[in-house]
């Protein structure tokens, strides 16, 4: 699967900040953020489509907050580039 430049950039930022909250894509109230930066939700959906990110265990889906972290597939996709 081929990633877009934006998807690659997001995954790289997630790897760099993997050990803190800035490495999570947060989707809440129809808005998507990586750290303090707003991210187009289409990028989130694209990364989900290729299974590059996973729902974090600390997500609060009942209150409308989803948190995603990079997974092994996402790391592997970046390594293939």
Structure tokens, 58: 């600390």
Secondary structure of residue 58 in the 3-state scheme: coil
Q: How confident is the model over 4-49, as pLDDT tens digits?
A: 999 999 999 999 999 888 999 999 989 999 999 999 999 999 999 9
CA distance 64 to 29: 7
pLDDT of residue 21: 85
Tens digit of each residue's pLDDT (9 = 90 or more) over 48-75: 999 999 998 878 877 888 999 999 999 9
How many residues in total does the chain contain? 81
68: tokens are: 């995603």
**Spatial distance between the Cα atoms of 81 and 20, rounded to a whole number of angstroms:** 25
Domains of the chain, by residue range, sit at: 5-79
What pLDDT does 2 receive? 83
């Amino acid at each position: 699967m081929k990633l877009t430049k934006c998807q690659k950039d997001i995954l790289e930022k997630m790897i760099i900040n993997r050990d803190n909250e800035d490495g999570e894509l947060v989707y809440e109230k129809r808005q998507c953020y990586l750290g303090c930066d707003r991210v187009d939700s289409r990028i989130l959906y694209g990364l989900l489509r290729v299974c590059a990110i996973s729902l974090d265990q600390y997500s609060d889906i009942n209150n409308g907050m989803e948190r995603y972290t990079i997974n092994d597939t996402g790391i592997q996709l970046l390594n293939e580039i």
